[in-house]
């Protein structure tokens, strides 16, 4: 039995879902969204605030500030509320309404960027605004998830050791790349302790992380319009880029089996299936993917047929190749 006295004390999850009955490969999904922040970002939020406290960067009048498209903003909102701290989240208009409402409910002040930077997109615009606000107000403490070593250290010390303990004979780990904290922390740990395990990075099409051209993206989460400073491509054995259509299909596949998970999770699972289809024809590899988030914040986008059809067309709600979906549509049609 776990008893906690503050919401941020519940940051770890050692729960896995065996996806073999759904996808046909030995793919286990580590669920990192089962906390009060609803995502893997709780680990980074707890670690970064804790490091700032230990370094005496947070005083009585301090106000935390961070740039986030959603998940870290909610996680920091939980931590700040639990510790009695003020928090300002600089986000942009891609942040969905449910996520924004959750942050406001937790007492966070939201500053929304409406226009992207011509070259660096919304991320660069958010970063520029954070710097501007910090220069104008000395009370602001920027945690800066993009360069903060506590971000990836949280996964080196927590996430990756849990995975290796559960699967000491792991063949492949699939991990999404956003700010790169989770990916770099896990990949570094496996390089140090399990060199026989391949680490495959999952990115979004339109992200510049791996040197590919920037393109507009509607679904927040993985990917970046500015290269993540923490990222080191040499840590990874392979990479997969996933279209937003396949992100939607991945999410809907999981939901059709009772797993309502977020956009980042749909991206990682879709990327893992793409890689396995090309590299594991005998379906013999033991693999794990990290599920970063839950799905409730995507009910008005990824899980809304009207929104999906408007932005991506009818093919976006077709199933992923090689996977099975329940036969509910046929039953309803028969009725």
Q: What would the pLDDT profile of 233-260 be if each residue is shown by its tens digit?
A: 999 999 999 999 999 999 999 999 999 9
Domains 7-37+148-315 and 41-142 fall in the same CATH topology? yes
- Whole-angstrom distance, CA of residue 250 vs CA of residue 60: 45
Nearest 10 degrees: CA dihedral of 55, 57, 63, 69?
-60
Domain ranges of the chain: 7-37+148-315, 41-142
pLDDT tops 70 at residue 125: yes
Q: Is the pLDDT of residue 308 over 60?
A: yes
**What does residue 251 show for φ and ψ, rounded to 5 degrees?**
-60, -45
The reported pTM is 0.90
Between helices 181-193 and 41-54, what is the axis angle to 10°? 90
Q: How far apart are the first and last CA of the chain?
A: 46
pLDDT at 79 over 50: yes
Q: What is the pLDDT of residue 319?
A: 72
Q: Which CATH code fits 41-142?
A: 3.40.50.1100
Does residue 327 surpass a pLDDT of 60?
no
pLDDT digits (tens, 9 = 90+) for 162-177: 999 999 999 999 999 9
Fold of 7-37+148-315: Rossmann fold (3.40.50)
Rounded Cα gap, residues 316 and 247, in angstroms: 9
202-212 pLDDT, tens digit per residue, is 999 999 998 89
Give the mean pLDDT of the chain: 91
Where does the pLDDT of residue 324 fall: very low under 50, low under 70, confident under 90, or very high at 90 and above?
low
- Structure token pair of residue 177: 């790349």
């Amino acid at each position: 039995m776990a008893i906690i006295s503050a919401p941020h004390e519940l940051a770890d999850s050692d729960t896995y879902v065996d996806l073999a009955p759904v996808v046909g490969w030995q793919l286990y999904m580590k669920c990192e969204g089962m906390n009060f922040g609803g995502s893997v970002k709780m680990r980074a939020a707890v670690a970064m605030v804790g490091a700032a406290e230990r370094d005496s960067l947070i005083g009585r009048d301090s106000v935390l500030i961070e740039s986030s498209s959603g998940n870290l903003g909610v996680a920091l909102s939980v931590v700040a509320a639990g510790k009695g701290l003020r928090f300002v989240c600089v986000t942009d208009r891609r942040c969905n309404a449910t996520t924004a409402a959750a942050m406001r409910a937790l007492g966070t002040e939201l500053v929304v960027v409406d226009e992207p930077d011509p070259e660096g997109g919304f991320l660069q615009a958010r970063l520029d605004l954070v710097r501007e606000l910090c220069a104008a107000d000395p009370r602001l403490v920027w945690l800066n998830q993009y360069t903060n070593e506590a971000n990836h250290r949280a996964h080196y010390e927590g996430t990756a050791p849990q995975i290796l303990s559960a699967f000491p004979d792991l063949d492949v780990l699939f991990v999404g790349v956003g700010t790169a904290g989770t990916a770099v922390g896990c990949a570094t740990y496996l390089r140090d302790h399990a060199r026989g395990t391949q680490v495959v990075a999952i990115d979004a099409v339109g992200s510049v992380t791996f040197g590919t051209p920037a393109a507009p993206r509607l679904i927040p989460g993985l990917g970046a319009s500015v290269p993540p400073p923490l990222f080191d491509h040499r840590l990874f054995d392979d990479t997969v880029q996933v279209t937003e259509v396949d992100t939607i299909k991945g999410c809907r596949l999981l939901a059709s089996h009772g797993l309502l998970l977020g956009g980042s999770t749909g991206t990682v699972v879709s990327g893992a299936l793409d890689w396995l289809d090309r590299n594991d024809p005998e379906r013999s590899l033991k693999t794990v993917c990290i599920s970063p988030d839950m799905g409730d914040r995507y009910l008005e986008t990824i899980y809304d047929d009207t929104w999906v059809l408007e932005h991506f067309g009818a093919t976006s709600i077709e199933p992923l190749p090689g996977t099975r979906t329940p036969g509910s549509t046929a039953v309803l049609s028969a009725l």
